[in-house]
Chains A and B, each alone.
Chain A
């Protein structure tokens, strides 16, 4: 049979018309490359700077000031304040308030002048080796520079001595700097984000597509009844996923679980429900299952890139951090890393849980307002 250019044109035209009518897909095709480019190009920075740093001061003097100033000007460290004792040091690192804590020991200045080569302690949160790595590496260079700058006048005898004082960096939580320790816990957040959002988004759109929504709406069922009834079964699926995840995390990747289980479960439940509610919200916007899938992927992209999962959160520019803060996975990522790697307790994850709850309330309210009880 002869090929017909008329038929070819007919199909071509039809495809263009359908593409134009399906605004959602069209928008996705335009927006996704832009978003990816922006995220990869600007937000992702694997050489993080301005990491929050606190100082435990037991001595002051020119060397201390010089070293802290050198840290600040290196732009790796952002010195934000002081801590009083080692309990506070532990706490600051565990909650993520600080990535580094510098401890200036007693008689530090005197010991340098006497040539006793004192050591300055820097405790680093190494749970994400990508975050703390390059900054830690810069520390000894900063120490040498500080000495050289101050080795003038009566102290000129210190010039050239590379080790007038030394810096002992204590890599906490993940001393072997295993990337898997950081990536694997984060994966739970990603897996749950991906599946939970998609599964609920599709479950409700399917009702509209199959026409069963009309029956559902003709019954006296109210928005919270429909929403809860739709969401709860998938919470169980979230539990199953979590179990599978832990079996693999322990047996294959040997990731430790340092903290208590109860706060983790609390965070997990909130996180699962947030994602299901988000899926419900998507389903009130999407008109078919395809659109629901597209929206889920559209949400997944920033969840991977901006949540601190793949790239250090601290390394992202301010606007990307703001976007990341809006994502539930960012907060659950912190919960699970703090608990599994740092052994954090409930009190250490309160800010993260609070953020998750705020997102949950906002998403649920929005979803219930969007859920139409009519076919309008």
Chain B
């Protein structure tokens, strides 16, 4: 579904959140169209969780304004909460309640109509119908995550906020999880998801890259490399570690990253990069190929370019 022409589900401007004298989120703007899967990428402590919490009214912004599902994020968080499904980073359902009791609890909290049938259906979908009397604390990481997702879908939210939903979950479970997210998105549910994983980032329609409280880039996933304008060469051959050491620090080469059996050598200035590589092209043991930069190189580039605002804050102080 395209967001063009319709009111954005999330539209916020200049969000600021400070904890003490540390600015965790610094003038954050975002516009999320309906039905989109919007990815929040960024290193640990970059403010992804804080931003999500501000969007659903769990934290009060120190500055900024905006709407979420058409409701004011500062004054109408009760209305927002009614229509948002929020999945926390850490499993935050009741470990000492059974699977069914947890779902029942959440359904009641959101005043879900036809509760028993909805809970039964959720258990069936989860494939947990025969284990519904097991305590949630006994479930493995992957099952806990699926239960948490089911719990925040019971009231059929219009917006899903998922905070690193697949941390500590095995690849198969992650794949299933993303299939589910895609299905929901196709049904018109807007999804905002934070993640560390590049393979998940690729699944998103749009990506906002956040580092140390600041949004560095924001756009459609496939356009991100183009927007950054990073030039990349791929090189294959023997003794890549040795080659990488030689390449490091050369003028024009900003980044040398290992990808499986190849190195990706990148720089912002394509001509300078080519000049730097030229002497190595003669070595016939290696095959060099110019290629468009992938998301992963772009993010490594963005991360190395951004400064740690905690460190910066300390320098200033």
Which chain A residues have a beta carbon within 8 Å of chain B's beta carbons?
A: 210-222, 373-376
Bitwise interface map of B from 95 to 116 toward A, beta carbon under 8 Å scored 1, else 0: 1000000000010011000000
- Please judge, given known A-B contacts A215-B93, A219-B110, whether A374 and B60 are in contact too, CB under 8 Å: yes
- Please judge, given known A-B contacts A211-B91, A211-B92, whether A374 and B78 are in contact too, CB under 8 Å: no
- Is A221's CB under 8 angstroms from B109's CB? yes
Which residues of the partner chain A approach B88 to less than 8 Å between Cβ atoms? 211, 214-215, 218
Q: Which residue of A lies closest to B90 (CB)?
A: A211
Which residues of the partner chain B approach A219 to less than 8 Å between Cβ atoms? 81, 106, 109-110
* Alpha-carbon separation in the docked complex, A221 to B53 (Å): 16
Which residues of the partner chain A approach B109 to less than 8 Å between Cβ atoms? 216, 219-221
- Please judge, given known A-B contacts A215-B88, A218-B81, A220-B82, whether A374 and B58 are in contact too, CB under 8 Å: yes
- Is A214's CB under 8 angstroms from B58's CB? yes
Which residues of the partner chain B approach A218 to less than 8 Å between Cβ atoms? 56, 58, 81, 84, 86, 88
Query: Taking the complex as formed, is B59 at the interface, i.e. its CB lies under 8 A from any CB of chain A?
Result: yes
- Is B94's CB under 8 angstroms from A376's CB? no
- Please judge, given known A-B contacts A219-B110, A374-B58, A374-B60, whether A212 and B81 are in contact too, CB under 8 Å: no
Q: Which residue of A lies closest to B163 (CB)?
A: A214
Query: Taking the complex as formed, is B213 at the interface, i.e. its CB lies under 8 A from any CB of chain A?
Result: no
Instruction: Assign chain B's interface to a size class.
Output: 20 to 34
Query: Taking the complex as formed, is B8 at the interface, i.e. its CB lies under 8 A from any CB of chain A?
Result: no
Which of A210, A220, A375, A376 touches B95 (beta carbons < 8 Å)? A210
A227 CB to closest chain B CB (Å) equals: 15
Which of B57, B59, B60, B92 touches A215 (beta carbons < 8 Å)? B92
Which residues of the partner chain A approach B110 to less than 8 Å between Cβ atoms? 219-220
* Alpha-carbon separation in the docked complex, A134 to B77 (Å): 64
* Alpha-carbon separation in the docked complex, A234 to B181 (Å): 41
Which of A210, A211, A220, A375 touches B58 (beta carbons < 8 Å)? A375
Q: Which residue of A lies closest to B56 (CB)?
A: A218
* Alpha-carbon separation in the docked complex, A211 to B90 (Å): 7
* Alpha-carbon separation in the docked complex, A212 to B53 (Å): 15
- Is A374's CB under 8 angstroms from B57's CB? yes
Which residues of the partner chain B approach A376 to less than 8 Å between Cβ atoms? 59-60
Which residues of the partner chain A approach B81 to less than 8 Å between Cβ atoms? 218-220
Q: Which residue of B lies closest to A220 (CB)?
A: B81
* Alpha-carbon separation in the docked complex, A218 to B109 (Å): 10
Which residues of the partner chain B approach A373 to less than 8 Å between Cβ atoms? 57, 77
* Alpha-carbon separation in the docked complex, A373 to B110 (Å): 16
B168 CB to closest chain A CB (Å) equals: 15
Which residues of the partner chain A approach B92 to less than 8 Å between Cβ atoms? 210-215
Q: Which residue of B lies closest to A217 (CB)?
A: B58
4 other contacts beyond A215-B92, A219-B81, A375-B59, with CB at 8 A cut-off? A211-B90, A218-B81, A218-B84, A220-B81
Most buried by B among A214, A215, A373: A215
Most buried by B among A214, A219, A222, A374: A219
B16 CB to closest chain A CB (Å) equals: 13
Q: Which residue of A lies closest to B83 (CB)?
A: A220
* 29 intermolecular pairs with C-beta atoms under 8 Å apart: A210-B92, A210-B95, A211-B88, A212-B92, A212-B93, A212-B94, A213-B92, A214-B58, A214-B88, A214-B90, A215-B86, A215-B92, A215-B93, A218-B56, A218-B58, A218-B84, A218-B86, A218-B88, A219-B106, A220-B78, A220-B81, A220-B82, A220-B109, A220-B110, A221-B109, A222-B78, A374-B57, A375-B53, A376-B59
A259 CB to closest chain B CB (Å) equals: 42
Which residues of the partner chain A approach B91 to less than 8 Å between Cβ atoms? 211
B17 CB to closest chain A CB (Å) equals: 9
Q: Which residue of B lies closest to A222 (CB)?
A: B78
Most buried by B among A214, A216, A217, A218: A218
B78 CB to closest chain A CB (Å) equals: 5
* Alpha-carbon separation in the docked complex, A216 to B81 (Å): 11
Q: Which residue of A lies closest to B78 (CB)?
A: A220
Which residues of the partner chain B approach A214 to less than 8 Å between Cβ atoms? 58, 88, 90, 92
A177 CB to closest chain B CB (Å) equals: 51
- Is A374's CB under 8 angstroms from B59's CB? yes
Most buried by B among A213, A216, A217, A373: A217
Please provide the chain B residues from 264 to 306 with a CB less than 8 Å away from any CB of chain A in the complex: none
Which residues of the partner chain B approach A220 to less than 8 Å between Cβ atoms? 78, 81-82, 109-110
* Alpha-carbon separation in the docked complex, A331 to B211 (Å): 58
* Alpha-carbon separation in the docked complex, A217 to B90 (Å): 14
* Alpha-carbon separation in the docked complex, A219 to B57 (Å): 10
* Alpha-carbon separation in the docked complex, A118 to B60 (Å): 79
Q: Which residue of A lies closest to B62 (CB)?
A: A376
B72 CB to closest chain A CB (Å) equals: 15
A39 CB to closest chain B CB (Å) equals: 38
Q: Which residue of A lies closest to B17 (CB)?
A: A376
Q: Which residue of B lies closest to A219 (CB)?
A: B109
List the 6 shortest-distance A-B pairs measured between CB atoms, nearest first: A219-B109, A218-B86, A220-B81, A215-B92, A211-B92, A214-B92
B139 CB to closest chain A CB (Å) equals: 15
B118 CB to closest chain A CB (Å) equals: 16
Which residues of the partner chain B approach A215 to less than 8 Å between Cβ atoms? 86, 88, 92-93, 106
* Alpha-carbon separation in the docked complex, A244 to B273 (Å): 84
* Alpha-carbon separation in the docked complex, A274 to B109 (Å): 26
A301 CB to closest chain B CB (Å) equals: 32
Bitwise interface map of B from 38 to 77 toward A, beta carbon under 8 Å scored 1, else 0: 0000000000000001001111100000000000000001
* Alpha-carbon separation in the docked complex, A375 to B56 (Å): 11
* Alpha-carbon separation in the docked complex, A214 to B87 (Å): 9
* Alpha-carbon separation in the docked complex, A218 to B155 (Å): 13
Q: Which residue of B lies closest to A375 (CB)?
A: B58
Which residues of the partner chain A approach B86 to less than 8 Å between Cβ atoms? 215, 218
Which residues of the partner chain B approach A216 to less than 8 Å between Cβ atoms? 109
B105 CB to closest chain A CB (Å) equals: 9
B287 CB to closest chain A CB (Å) equals: 51
Which residues of the partner chain A approach B58 to less than 8 Å between Cβ atoms? 214, 217-218, 374-375
* Alpha-carbon separation in the docked complex, A222 to B91 (Å): 22
